[in-house]
């Protein structure tokens, strides 16, 4: 019995070490921008940053539940965040990234979406989150300017 407990303890220790070694974890291309730009600065002055490569830092607030193709990164200001979107299948962020810190590099994209595009986007998000029954297209107003990062690379740490 003692041998079995020791084996189980060693197994659990090795598993926890394996998980700990996974962080920091690199995704996509290596980061090349050295100085981070505050997310609040991008959101306050989107046209200044549109089309530019930036490095941002913050907590991973949410992860795409279907394909791991985006993460929401919390800003340096409360209640602000920016979406870091990657090409489906090129980078896959794990759900376990939620709550961890990220350094992410990408190109700022400022796009104005029509009401119809916003409805389609909201429908897609509701479907991803399993909340299609709660989806109310009549509550969506547009057009709206959407600011996000077209992701190229990221490093997730504790």
Domains of the chain: 25-157 (2.40.50.140)
Closest CA to 110 of 77, 139, 143: 143
The C-alpha angle with vertex 14 and arms to 68 and 6, in degrees rounded to 5, equals 140
Percentage of residues of the chain with pLDDT beyond 70: 86
pLDDT at residue 80, rounded to an integer: 98
pLDDT at residue 16, rounded to an integer: 44
How confident is the prediction for the chain on average, in pLDDT?
89
Write out pLDDT tens, residues 53-106.
Answer: 999 999 999 999 888 999 999 999 999 999 999 998 899 999 999 999 999 999
Q: Determine how β-strand 70-74 pairs with β-strand 144-157.
A: unpaired
Residue 125 to residue 135: CA distance in whole angstroms: 9
pTM: 0.80
Residue 49 to residue 116: CA distance in whole angstroms: 26
Place of tokens 């539940």: 65
pLDDT at residue 15, rounded to an integer: 46
- The tokens describing 58, both together, are 């913050």
Is 5 in a helix, a strand, or coil?
helix
- The tokens describing 100, both together, are 């961890």
Beta bridge partners of 62: 72
Core vs surface per residue 78-97: b (16+ CB within 10 A) or e: eebbbbbbbeeeebebeeeb
């Amino acid at each position: 019995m003692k041998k079995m407990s020791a084996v189980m303890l060693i197994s659990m220790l090795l598993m926890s070490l394996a998980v700990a070694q996974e962080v920091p974890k690199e995704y996509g291309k290596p980061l090349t921008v050295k100085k981070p730009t505050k997310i609040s600065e991008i959101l306050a002055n989107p046209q200044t940053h549109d089309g530019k490569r930036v490095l941002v830092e913050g907590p991973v607030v949410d992860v795409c539940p279907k394909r791991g193709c985006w993460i929401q990164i919390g800003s340096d200001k409360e209640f602000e965040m920016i979406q870091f979107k990657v090409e489906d299948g090129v980078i896959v962020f794990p759900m376990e990234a939620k709550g961890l810190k990220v350094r992410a590099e990408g190109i700022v994209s400022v796009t104005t979406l029509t009401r119809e595009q916003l409805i389609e986007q909201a429908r897609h998000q509701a479907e991803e989150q399993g909340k299609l029954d709660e989806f109310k297209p009549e509550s969506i107003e547009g057009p709206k300017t959407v600011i996000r990062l077209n992701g190229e690379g990221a490093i997730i740490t504790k």
